[in-house]
Amino acid sequence: MNIAIIPARGGSKRIPRKNIKLFNGKPIIAYSIESAIKSQCFDRVIISTDDKEIAEIAIQYGAEVPFMRPAHIADDYATTLDVMHHAVTQLDQEEHFENVCCIYATAPFVTPGQLREGIRLLKAESADYVFPIAEFTSPIQRALLRDSKGFLSMTVPEHLNSRSQDLREAYYDTGQFYWGKVSAFLNNTSIYSDKSLGLRLGKYSCVDIDDLEDWAIAEFLYDYRASQ
């Protein structure tokens, strides 16, 4: 049995009401709910929220809200693992399930196919977690740091004269979803454990939406990708 859990608190600061803000005409949380349902990976799609309006909108798009999230894990300091541990503990009292997927509410680029491939990898490789990754567009070995006066230094100075094509590829967590074993979430196993696998996505496959400029870029990219 597999369950999707979509964390969606009400108190977002940088983009007020971020989780239900309209994204190309539809509440952004709807994209995550619809992809989860269309993937046919899940027996239940659950929303973890402290906000009644978010709960009502989520239910309209086919999700369940069997409990409300307590305030102490709905503030700026609550981690994803805090929220997932609470949700999994609540649900595990009702029924047994093996795998759970945390899908962020602001992840409109998640596709049903990615979710299906994620659970396939999780089972095939006996991993703790599987999540999407993308390659940095520039070599991180040539990254620069600024000191207090603004002067620059290389993070890895021995690569000053290295050719880009000779440097090892590096990847970042796209922050869209995390497939995991229930036991990993219940044990608060780090998402970056030594048994975590990356589902590689193409460059520019998503946008990390932190402010309104990111939001506009994400809408443009979504429209562009949909037109191809």
pLDDT, one tens digit per residue, over 95-143 is: 788 999 999 999 999 999 999 999 999 999 999 999 999 999 889 999 9
CA 210 → CA 15, 46, 86, 134, distances in Å? 7, 24, 25, 18
Output the DSSP codes for 118-139: HHHHHHHTT-SEEEEEEE-SS-
> Structure tokens of 61?
């798009």
Q: How large is the greatest C-alpha to C-alpha distance in the chain, in angstroms?
A: 59
Residue 3 — very low, low, confident or very high, per pLDDT cuts 50/70/90?
Answer: very high
> Is the pLDDT reported for residue 174 higher than 80?
yes
d(C-alpha 193, C-alpha 128), whole Å: 8
CA distance 38 to 33: 9
Q: Which two tokens stand for residue 67?
A: 């409990």
| Predicted confidence (pLDDT) per residue in 134-161, tens digit | 999 889 999 999 999 999 999 999 998 8
Cβ neighbours of residue 165 under 8 Å, at least 6 residues apart? none
Among 177, 220, 167, smallest CA distance to 201 is for: 177
Structural domains in the chain, sorted by start: 2-134+172-227 (3.90.550.10)
- What pTM did the predictor assign? 0.94
Six token digits for residue 12: 């977002």
Decide if pLDDT at 218 tops 80.
yes
Query: 93-118 burial string, b = 16+ CB within 10 Å, else e?
Result: eeeebebbbbbbbbbbbbeeebbebb
